[in-house]
Structure 1
Amino acid sequence: MNFQHTEDRRMLADTLNRFVSEQYGFATRDTLAHSDSGFSRELWVRFAELGIVGALFKETDGGYGGDGFDIAVVFESLGRGLVVEPFLGALVVGHALAHTGSEAQKALIASLVEGRAAAALAHDEPGSHYELTKVSTRAVRGSNGWVLTGAKTVVQQGAEADFFLVSARTSGVADAEAGISLFVVPRETVGLDVRGYRKIDGGRAAEICLNEVCLPDDALLGERDTAFARLEFCIGAGVLALCAEAVGAMDVAKDHTLEYLRTRKQFGVAIGSFQALQHRMADLLLEIEQARSAVINAAAALGAGRVERERALSAAKYTIGRIGTRVAEECIQMHGGIGMTWELPLAHYAKRLVMIDHQLGDEDHHLERYITLGRSERHE
């Protein structure tokens, strides 16, 4: 198998890396991440003008990429700069719209690709613990459309989103695959209460309450009761994106640590000459390459059958969770006390790596899921 990126993907990565390096320095990123909005609308448009958002979608959906490796290339570069703009929401929501949206709903993809709008997935609920089937938010068919009631938690960039993709149960019990539906909900909808807050690793998230939110019939995405498979696939694309982002962040944390070991002196010599630190760094480099291999495997499997795809994604997320935490810990320890200072970028990369483990399923969740999917495959 050829693991080399195509010329187009290499050009995309070079363009994005150059833009992040020149226009998205750490001081800029830190200011944006801790601002009231959590990201820059102006930079979101500039990313779109470079074609970065379009690379996440297929040509038939208004983009020019959309494959697993396109997603991985983009998010690895974003991870190198700790970019906080709402790429993940655009990816997950946009892919859901592309798969089963009506013509009017698919038109929303253009607003994402052009940077005119931001979208957010509102799926997780209090107590759901990453389980995709645990949906308690209810959607009841009324005389004039749908009425949604419930609560969603940790909605990434929720306070600044122009529209949401909301999961709700239209039939069945709270943990069944059947009976889940998806709805497109504009930000200004009456009854939608959004409370934003800052995240520990920068950027913002939100808690959402749906207080008898009334929606027209055309707010339903696809057919009612059948959204689980679509939701699983779109969140799978998000898992791949997070894993690739983590690899980019690991590379930068590694480079910063290597530079520190070369320049920090103790007893008159660079601490990088100490054999114990050399061994620790060599182990870390091997772990990062293992994480990169897991992402490559997941990217290649994104278009495969369900079990193969989901096992590859869960294997990558488990690997990223374990290795990301180790990279964060080891790099900080090899820096010493300075590694935790706010002014040093490394501390922010470490926070992001730890928090990626808790997005869209943590290490324990995906290990259990990988095992469960393996058992189901053997029984088929």
Structure 2
Amino acid sequence: MNAEASAPLRMIAESAADFAASHGGPGAARRVHEGGPAWEADAWKAIAGLGWLGIAVPEAAGGLELGAPALCVVAEEAGRALLMPPLTAGMAAAAVLAEGGDAAAPTLQALIEGTAHVALAQAERGADGTRTASLVPEGDAAAQWLVASGQGADFEARGLDPAAHGIALRVRHAVDGSRLADLAIEPAAWADAPCLLSGAVGEAAWARGRQLAWLGDAAYLCGLMDAALRLALDYLRLRRQFGVPIGSFQALQHRATDCHVDVTATRALVHEAARAAGTARAAWAAAAAVQRASAAALRVTQEVVQFHGAIGFADEHDAGLYLRRAMTVGARHAGAALAALQGR
């Protein structure tokens, strides 16, 4: 990327870093871990006010039309600050809704304005016609779900409000304290919900949105593991044994170097995948990015806990916050991304 092209992204990154630092951080992540809400109306409206939720939405639909590279820049800074609201899911959902035409316009407008959150879910249809979807990010916070079912000509993505459509919803907690949800959608509720995308065209739009979600979470994990490694390096410089900083021990230097390589290589892959959006290799590149980022984030955050010794395993220490968040975000797309890499 040349200097002229990267200048706008640098400006976006600086703005995102300032906002994420003031609304995120280990303290905010710990409040969620201890039972506080990850999704708060004021923070969500502030995010919307920056235009982030429309970052991958065409200008004609009310967005910024900055594309996947800008989305990844924002997501990386969010991960660096452990920002807990479902930002990456919201950005991807807005891009999908933008391709839904007039039927999706009111929902898209509410999402971009920050008065609603829309979560994406892929449902499986049972023999009795009931559709089930699981592990919806921040399920209890979402005002609406955009749920996809079927393939090809049978593909449909419908907008559902669990309260309005009488949908059974089971909310549970991930290891980082964020909320997940399982949905059971009866045939009558499915038929009553508005169809926002359908057929092969709708399925293609859904696939593009899913790729943005992969890229966003991959970038988020890049920021997260970079921040976690910096936390560990500060500790290695501070902690002393035998009269010297433990960071001077060669064995720890080698392990820290491996972590640095993991972070740097993963970031390069993620941003290269973002530049591939809209090309023939977009799906494979996005899937590869999130698979690599998920694995690398686990390796790095586990090492960060180890670098801190016994104190790193204490629930009160911030090192564990990065590991738990990496576990939650990395698990979101494992099955679908792996299937895309294997050509399924």
- How many percent identity over aligned positions? 28
Distance 2:315 2:321 in 1: 8
CA deviation after TM superposition for structure 1 residue 43, in Å: 0.9
Instruction: Give the TM-score of the pair, scaled to structure 2.
Output: 0.91
Rounded to whole Å, the distance in 2 between the matches of 1:206 and 1:225 is 28
Inter-CA distance 15–122: structure 2 relative to 1 (3 Å threshold): same
1:173 corresponds to which residue?
A: none
Q: Is the 8 A contact 2:29 2:321 kept in 1?
A: no
Coordinate RMSD, CA, aligned: 2.5
- 1:67 — aligned with what? 67
Q: What is the CA deviation profile of residues 259-282 of structure 1, one whole-angstrom value per residue up to 9, with x for unaligned ones?
A: 000000011110011111111111
1:136 aligns with 2:125: yes
Residues paired across the two proteins, number = 344
Q: Structure 2 CA distance, aligned partners of 1:22 and 1:187? A: 32
Distance apart, 1:253 and its partner CA: 0.7
Once the two structures are TM-superposed, the CA of residue 313 in structure 1 deviates from its matched residue by 1.4
Aligned ranges for residues 87-102 of structure 1 at < 5 Å? 87-99=87-99, 101-102=100-101
1:232 to 197, 207, 215: 207
Q: Does the CA-based 8 Å contact 2:155-2:198 persist in structure 1? A: no
Corresponding residue for residue 301 of structure 2:
328
Which among 324, 344, 353 is matched to residue 317 of structure 2?
344
Deviation (angstroms), 1:225: 6.6
Is 2:298 aligned against 1:317?
A: no
User: Given the two structures, how large is their TM-score scaled by the length of structure 1?
Assistant: 0.83
- Residue in 2 aligned with 1:246? 221
- Letter of the 1:153 counterpart: S
Asked if 1:108 corresponds to 2:107, the answer is yes
Note if contact 1:32-1:39 (Cα within 8 Å) is conserved in structure 2.
no
1:78-93 mapped onto 2 (5 Å cutoff): 78-93=78-93
Deviation by residue 1:120-148 (Cα, 9 ceiling, x = unmatched): 11215xxxxxxxxxx32589xxxxxxxx7
Provide the residue aligned with 1:153 in structure 2.
134
Give the drift of 1:322: 2.5
Q: 1:209 Cα shift?
A: 1.4
**Is contact 2:153–2:199 with CA below 8 Å preserved after alignment?**
no
Q: Counterpart in 1 of 2:41?
A: 41
209-218 or 351-360: which moved more? 209-218
The structure in which a higher percent of residues are helix is 2
Tell me the alpha carbon deviations over residues 209-260 of structure 1, each in whole angstroms, 9 at most, x when there is no partner: 1134446778112334764323222111100001000000011011001100
Local SS of the residue matching 2:51: coil
Counterpart of 1:117, as a letter, is A
Offset of residue 61 of structure 1: 2.1
Tell me how far apart the structure 1 counterparts of residues 191 and 131 of structure 2 sit (CA, whole Å).
Answer: 18
2:131 alignment partner AA: G
Judge conservation of contact 1:68–1:303 (CA < 8 Å) in 2: no
Task: State whether structure 2 residue 157 is matched by structure 1 residue 163.
Answer: no
Q: Which runs of 5+ in 2 are unaligned?
A: none
Instruction: Give matches, 1:162-181, under 5 Å.
Output: 162-169=143-150, 177-181=152-156
> 2:298 aligns to what SS in structure 1?
helix
How far 1:63 sits from its partner (Å)?
A: 1.6
